[in-house]
Structure 1
Amino acid sequence: MKNSDPKPKGEISMGSVKDLFVQTSPRENIMGQGKFIFSNRYSVFDWGEMPDHILHKGEALCLIGAYFFEKLADLGYLTHYRGLEEKGQIKKLSQLSGPSSVMHVSLVQVIHPPQSGNTYDYGVYHHDYENFLIPFEFIYRNSIPSGASFRKRVERGVINLRDYGLEKMPMPDEKLLSPILDVSTKLEEQDRYLSWDQVLNLNIINNEDINHIKKTLTFADELITNEVKKGGLENEDGKIELAFDPERKLMFVDVLGTPDECRFTWKGIHLSKEVAREFYRKTSWYEEVSQMKSHYSVGWKYYIKSKPQPLPKKLLQAIGWIYQRIAIDLTGREWFSSVPSLEKIVEEIKEFV
């Protein structure tokens, strides 16, 4: 296979949120092994690393991701999760004596579609390939909150509500009778939404695969929704990533169910990375990002002259509490000290959102 990742053994691939250390590289019919090192970095609007670090975010994401992976495994689903690291040992969540920011995973091949100008060539994929990352993000929407990309695409006339079974745009706080299942590219410079027909025409997955993916996505949505509801949260929307294992069986990869992958609310107030997005939407930097993205699908960051300002200290601390509180409530363990309740955290962020 051409143009594949992860990096060779021993190398670290740095992302905007977490790093990947490759222990053994994957091959066409053999998965590799590696570990995610979750950081306190964060990213919004495809910008990459933002100026602040969020306290304990990496550990909280790692714990939440492990919680959902272990739930999926108990229910018979395949995942690439192998366990969490503590003092050089790989352990289950229940075996940890304290929070961990290192997750051991199995690795599949990542095949990057070659770029030519503003287009990407997905001809490097074929139906008979296995052991590779499916190059899309699979998205579920249980509501269409204000600021949601789906709402903006409808307003621009890019998509038609009736294609999604809707006669009119739902109110921002209205729950959909059934989730909208959406899909976007994963390995392009700027994420690009696709229809399911467009996905099929790329000749990477077939109709049977798509039906299986939709059922898997719907199940993940239901699992996350039911689990976070125990802590009083609503699961508005979220994404999952999937891969084929060496036998071409569908497998959950990356992480799922975290405040980075999902949009959670508490009594209508966003309690996820959306809090930071809402703050930055009021800045001139965001206006410039939006303008350049609309003009350039590739290389838009080159044209941006400004930089994002740091978050106010009070807001930064509250966002850290969001991640910590969700990890505590999901797992039922007090991993972090002096973390307020969701109600008190909401009081701290109200003046900013």
Structure 2
Amino acid sequence: MPVLHSTKNLHVVEPPTATRDGVGVFEYTDAFTVFHYGRMPDPIPGKGEAACRMAAFNFALLGEAGVRTHFRRFIAPNRIEFTLARLPEQADRPLTPAGGNYLIPLQVLFRNELPPGSSVHRRLAAGDLTPADIGLDAVPTVGEKLERPLIEYATTRDAVNRFIAPGEAQRLAGLDDEQFLELQEITRKVNTVLTDHASKVGLSHCDGKVEYLVASDGHLVLADSPGTPDESRLMFAGVHCGKQILRDWYVRSGNEVPVGRLIADGVPRNRWPQPASLPPEYVAVMTDLYRSLSETWTGERHWSAPDLPTATRAVTDLIDR
């Protein structure tokens, strides 16, 4: 079944219960999302398989590092089977691990750098964030590297995800102090593993996000697709290797979809404007970029894509036209 706000389709093989894990399959599609709009009109051929192969590689990498994940197996070319948890109902009653087997309604974000496009710059400019909130003495420059990774939290069940304080995040997750500390420690480990691998293959792992489930045995399990271009901001020689390129085109061309304003004005989704289509040359360049990124990251050759210097040079040439 398709998920409007996701680039993956979810197929339920075996439904979960409070006491028994379920089984699901993610099909990674060629769709992309920006501006919290949901799926945009143009598919990027090859993107789904490229991201799926990166996800499977990363789950193996993290498993070797001792991180427990929901990954079960890779189903070529663009699906993974995983342990499926219950999606908790929206309710005033807080979650508790004793309730068993649920997806935590929380994104955990980690930041190593603050490149162009990072929401930190926008939130600082708007006054929604202060330098002290992120452990800095002054407003950071664009591209600034942080002395230590910053961890933040955001909701996943709102119309537009919102950043929340650690206390609210812990309450929303239904975790006690020890469990919430463990969630932070796992997140730091995931960040370290992915950042180290990125460095080995010549990439910068600027930031990323992860999600967790509480398994039927009460333990935290890493979920979603860490380290893929939909979940992490990866850059090569100062060039974004993901959807920031597409987001920037919409903004520069005056085609940005004002989702925040539409929601604030109460406009029903079925009356939102249809986003503009990408120029065809962007689709072709992004296909090469996603495939090149995947081959660089995994060390596997599936498409004879251009190398990453060539693929990113094509991006900068396109932007500079």
Are residues 1:101 and 2:91 paired? no
Pick aligned residue for 1:323 from 282, 290, 293: 290
Q: Secondary structure at the match of 2:258?
A: helix
Q: Which residue of 2 aligns with 1:91?
A: none
Aligned match for 1:275, one of 229, 237, 245: 245
Q: Is the 8 A contact 2:117 2:244 kept in 1?
A: no
Alignment equivalent of 2:200, drawn from 213, 226, 230: 230
Report what 1:197 is aligned to: 167
- Post-superposition CA distance 1:313-344 (Å, at most 9, x none): 2221111222211211122111112x112211
Give the unaligned 5+ runs of structure 2: none
Alignment partner, residue 179 of structure 2: 209
CA RMSD of aligned residues (A): 2.0
1:59-101 Cα offsets, whole Å, 9 max, x none, are 1111100001111222222111111125xxxxxxxxxxxxx11
Q: Is the 8 A contact 2:85 2:215 kept in 1?
A: yes
1:23 is aligned to 2:50: no
Is the aligned partner of 1:347 residue 2:313?
yes
Q: How many Å apart are 1:124 and its aligned residue?
A: 5.2
CA gap 1:14/1:174 in 2 versus in 1, 3 angstroms: closer
- Determine the C-alpha separation between the residues in 2 that align with 1:290 and 1:268: 29
Distance in 2 (alpha carbons) for counterparts of 1:228 and 1:203: 29
The residue aligned with 1:137 is 107
Query: What's the CA shift for 1:303?
Result: 6.1
Structure 1 unaligned segments of length 5 or more: list them. Answer: 1-11, 87-99, 114-120
CA contact (8 A) 1:285 1:307 kept: no
Q: CA deviation at 1:146?
A: 2.6
- Distance in 2, Cα, partners of 1:77 & 1:253: 11
How far residue 290 of structure 1 moved from its aligned partner, in angstroms, is 4.9
1:68-147 alignment runs, 5 A limit: 68-86=58-76, 100-113=77-90, 121-123=91-93, 125-147=95-117
Letter aligned with residue 40 of structure 1: D
Cα 1:129–1:202 change in 2 (3 A) is same
Give the alignment's TM-score, normalised by structure 2.
0.92
Cα 1:203–1:143 change in 2 (3 A) is closer
Letter in 2 for 1:282: R
In structure 1, what is the Cα distance between the partners aligned to 2:33 and 2:71? 23
In the alignment, does 2:245 pair up with 1:255?
Answer: no
CA distance in 2 between counterparts of 1:122 and 1:341 reads: 51
When the two structures are aligned, how many residues end up with a matched partner?
Answer: 318
SS in 1 for 2:252: coil
Paired with 1:183 and 1:76, the residues of 2 have a C-alpha distance of 23
CA distance in 1, matches of 2:59, 2:105: 20
1:285 positional shift: 3.4
Classify the secondary structure of the residue corresponding to 1:308: coil
Q: For residues 175 and 196 of structure 1, do their structure 2 counterparts lie closer, same or farther at Cα, with a shift above 3 Å needed?
A: same
Helix, strand or coil for the counterpart of 2:113?
coil
SS for the counterpart of 1:20 is: strand
1:41 partnered with 2:28: no
Residues 122 and 271 from structure 1, CA distance in 2 versus in 1: closer, same or farther, beyond 3 angstroms?
Answer: farther
Structure-2 residue corresponding to 1:117: none
> How far apart, in 2, do the equivalents of 1:68 and 1:257 lie?
7
1:38 is displaced (CA, Å) by 1.1
Residue 346 of structure 1, CA deviation: 1.9
**Does structure 2 retain, via aligned residues, the 8 Å contact 1:183–1:196?**
yes
